[in-house]
């Protein structure tokens, strides 16, 4: 697959504080690559360095188009984390102004703007000034601004934050469409369910360092171990001592047993003691959300893996 963006060994410090180090990943044509991590992990700093809003202390950033040449800046789209458009300007005027800055033909931009406003339930808002829009509407207009010029590479910093579920679906569909049509997409998010549904690959960052990098399938296979939820009145100590149990979580009337990697659930179930009270039992894989929480809270789901050693 064509690499459109390569980030190599990026490092950045603010005063004495190292905020990101050794960050390396690629984004390919037609893929959705997610960068995720807890608050303060370094996602926006990484993106701002890529966008040239600040300069890295170490490492390099390389944009490459499918024709082998560097992607010119005007072929990149960017939705910054800080939302905000000029307030007393009409929606169409701002979209055309931003398209013009990207050297995009104005007649095409006008047609695309009207199409997208319709698609995002903002039909007729082209003549309204930005200050009259709700927060979500403003976010939609800013999203349109980031794609109006048909970018080859699109970078979206927290595109879903503050959106209602219907608008989230609209954004999701459009982002998928863009990827299907060949746009390389890098998005940051901490909404795991959305990332799990959409991303082809992901890069998880924690305290400025890589903890996971790979395809969604690889990540699930590697980290999404099985967990077994048992409803019943049982002694947590007995459950904790069962084979292949990494750790347990005791809730009211039920216990979740997090199992080791590579456990075969059929065989594991066969060796449960007969005196265990089972009112209900469920086996499923941990979600990306749980993997994320474990990493963010330094629990031991990844204890066998040292951060940064997982994928090249």
Residues at the interface with ligand ATP (CB under 6 A): 14, 19, 37, 39-45, 190
Q: Whose Cβ is closer to ligand ATP: residue 39's or residue 67's?
A: 39
Q: How far apart are CB 158 and ligand ATP at their closest, in Å?
A: 7
Q: Whose Cβ is closer to ligand ATP: residue 39's or residue 266's?
A: 39
CA distance 76 to 73: 5
Q: How far apart are CB 92 and ligand ATP at their closest, in Å?
A: 31
Joined together, the tokens standing for residue 65 give 């188009």
Q: Whose Cβ is closer to ligand ATP: residue 45's or residue 246's?
A: 45
DSSP codes joined into one string, 231-245: ES---HHHHHTSTTE
CA distance 186 to 14: 24
For 19, phi and psi rounded to 5 degrees? -95, -40
Neighbours of 235 (CB within 10 A): 11
Q: How far apart are CB 145 and ligand ATP at their closest, in Å?
A: 21
Q: How far apart are CB 189 and ligand ATP at their closest, in Å?
A: 9
Q: Residue 144 belongs to what H/E stretch? A: helix 135-147
For 91, phi and psi rounded to 5 degrees? -55, -50
CA distance 234 to 138: 53
Q: Whose Cβ is closer to ligand ATP: residue 42's or residue 138's?
A: 42
Q: Whose Cβ is closer to ligand ATP: residue 117's or residue 199's?
A: 199
Q: How far apart are CB 79 and ligand ATP at their closest, in Å?
A: 13
Q: Whose Cβ is closer to ligand ATP: residue 33's or residue 133's?
A: 33
CA distance 140 to 296: 30
CA distance 278 to 229: 10
Q: How far apart are CB 10 and ligand ATP at their closest, in Å?
A: 12
Q: List the 17-28 sheet strands across, edge first.
A: 17-28, 3-14, 58-63
- By the 8 A CB rule, do 105 and 146 touch? no
Q: How far apart are CB 172 and ligand ATP at their closest, in Å?
A: 19
DSSP codes joined into one string, 5-54: EEEEEEEEEETTEEEEEEEEEEEETT-EEEEE-STTSSHHHHHHHHTTSS
Q: Whose Cβ is closer to ligand ATP: residue 98's or residue 204's?
A: 204
Q: Whose Cβ is closer to ligand ATP: residue 21's or residue 146's?
A: 21
Q: How far apart are CB 224 and ligand ATP at their closest, in Å?
A: 23
């Amino acid at each position: 697959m064509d690499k459109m963006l390569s980030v190599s060994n990026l490092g950045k410090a603010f005063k004495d504080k190292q905020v990101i180090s050794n960050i390396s990943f690629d984004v390919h044509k037609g893929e959705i690559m997610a960068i995720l991590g807890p608050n303060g992990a370094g996602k926006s700093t990484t993106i701002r360095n890529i966008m040239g809003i600040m300069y890295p202390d170490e490492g390099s950033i390389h944009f490459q188009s499918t024709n082998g040449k560097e992607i010119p800046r005007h072929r990149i789209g960017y939705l910054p984390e800080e939302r905000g458009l000029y307030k007393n300007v009409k929606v169409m005027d701002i979209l055309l102004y931003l398209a013009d800055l990207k050297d995009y033909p104005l007649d095409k931009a006008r047609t695309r703007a009207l199409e997208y406003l319709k698609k995002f339930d903002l039909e007729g808002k082209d003549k309204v000034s930005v200050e009259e829009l709700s927060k979500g509407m403003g976010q939609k207009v800013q999203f349109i601004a980031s794609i109006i010029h048909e970018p080859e590479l699109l970078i979206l910093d927290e595109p879903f934050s503050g959106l209602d579920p219907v608008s989230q679906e609209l954004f999701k569909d459009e982002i998928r469409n863009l990827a299907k049509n060949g746009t390389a997409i890098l998005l940051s998010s901490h909404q795991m369910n959305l990332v799990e549904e959409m991303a082809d690959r992901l890069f998880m960052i924690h305290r400025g360092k890589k903890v996971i990098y790979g395809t969604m399938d690889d990540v699930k296979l590697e980290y999404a171990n099985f967990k077994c939820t048992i409803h019943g009145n049982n002694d947590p100590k007995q459950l904790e001592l069962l084979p292949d149990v990494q750790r347990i979580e005791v809730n009211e009337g039920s216990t979740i047993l997090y199992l080791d990697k590579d456990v075969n659930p059929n065989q594991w179930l066969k060796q449960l003691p007969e005196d265990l009270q089972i009112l209900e039992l469920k086996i499923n894989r941990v979600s990306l959300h749980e993997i994320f929480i474990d990493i963010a809270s330094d629990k031991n789901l990844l204890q066998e893996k040292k951060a940064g050693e997982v994928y090249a």
